[in-house]
Amino acid sequence: MTDFTQFPASFTWGVATSAFQIEGAWNVDGKGPSIWDTFTHTPGKIIDGTTGDVACDHYHRYPEDVAIMAGLGVDAYRFSMAWSRVQPQGKGAWNEAGWDFYDRLLKELESRHIDAHVTLFHWDLPQGLQDEGGWLNRDTAYHFATYAAEVARRFGNRVKTIATHNEPWCTANLGYGNAQFAPGVADLKQSVQVSHHLLLSHGLAMSAMREVGSTAQLGIVLNQWTADPATDSEADRAAAAFEYARSVEWFMDPIFKGHYPELALRVYGDNAPVVEEGDLAIIHQKIDFMGLNYYFRSFCSTETPPRQPECKLGKTDMGWEIYPDGLTELLLKLHAAYALPPIYITENGMANPDTIVDGEIADEARIDFVLRHLKALNDARLQGVNIQGYFLWSLLDNFEWNSGYAKRFGIVHVDYATQKRTLKHSAHWYRDYLIQQRPQKTANAA
């Protein structure tokens, strides 16, 4: 795919990572353990048996990584903070050495004129809070608000945006629904209750951050998809309607409409969450932006075995269908249903089985993937959806959760044995693409 899509000069171009996937230094300088430290240290939880103990060693190599970003010419860097690095137990004493790390990272970004977009929680709950019930314990939502307020107090005037959560659907459904992710629970009722406490914590954190006078834009990042019936059968259409309700509307409706979707509540029945008086008013408050992560659509089949999509554009190395049209369809559907704030596409990218040949990593499939999705999001933008930026996932190959290091999403290759970074063809392409987007702004030399 070679066509070029021109975006407005004000459009934000960035790359994204998360703390547990790249930082390493899991027990350095006073950091407390997170549930992902515990999970990865438990035999049998990670497909390749690895941990995030070192990961990309970004904790020590952040100046090199920021220099790579500057060489790409990006405007912005989206990253998450490790809660247990700055507050080892998730409550109580702060760890100044942890705050110092993020201060140094922000200074490095500021020196390169790269805007910081911070996520407070990307799944790595302090183990100390998990020991008291984790997100199943309502108190965790209040501890999260205290943490959020402290981040906003210290850094809220130095960062562009602060997102409360990244993909709370994953925390609830993969962490508590099917045990695929930390903390490794498989219980529908717990999963649904956790999703409510996550949303409550979002609302509490929004209020807490506003109270300290942060100038950052405040919001949340949600992973979303269209839910398409595999056939026109009544069963498939009903399955698709429920999938969309439990995944997209379950998080959107409380934030933007002040209630949970009726269809999902009806299907959940006795598994519906306990919602205390006033909770929905806390959740249902203005947000300054919404981050949207898109990788694939949901293809809903009730047949046995389930009918599979055609995958006309193939699949990624995760086995996910490549379906860029779903991004346009999703954005237009959301635009029609909700009064949306400005949107950032905060994650989009693909896992690819990248290998180095003669010093080169030819990942043209990733370039094609990104180009098609940029066209898809621009199609939605031209139809009235207020999209302000795009963050390519991911800057670096990194620890891919329960897949360990077997899957590579980065536009920069990481040799985990030596920590050598090598720009893939997609990184060179992204740099050149941004130069085309902004002829008045050339990329800084790395």
pTM of the entire structure? Answer: 0.97
Cα(18)–Cα(166) distance, integer angstroms: 9
Q: 46: which 2 tokens?
A: 């990670």
Q: Is the pLDDT of residue 331 over 50?
A: yes
Note the pLDDT tens digit of each residue in 82-92: 999 999 999 99
Note the pLDDT tens digit of each residue in 175-189: 999 999 999 999 999
Is the separation of the CB atoms in 177 and 247 below 8 Å? Answer: no
Note the pLDDT tens digit of each residue in 356-408: 999 999 999 999 999 999 999 999 999 999 999 999 999 999 999 999 999 99
pLDDT at position 2 = 54
Q: Is the pLDDT of residue 211 over 70?
A: yes
pLDDT at position 441 = 60
Select which of 347, 360, 364, 400 is catalytic: 347
Q: Is the pLDDT of residue 1 over 70?
A: no
Is the separation of the CB atoms in 11 and 442 below 8 Å? Answer: no
pLDDT at position 446 = 39
Whether the ω angle into residue 183 lies within 30 degrees of 0, i.e. cis, is yes
Interacting residues of 345 by C-beta distance below 8 A, sequence separation 6+: 291, 292, 293, 294, 327, 377, 387, 389, 390, 391
- Is 23 labeled as catalytic in the residue annotation? no
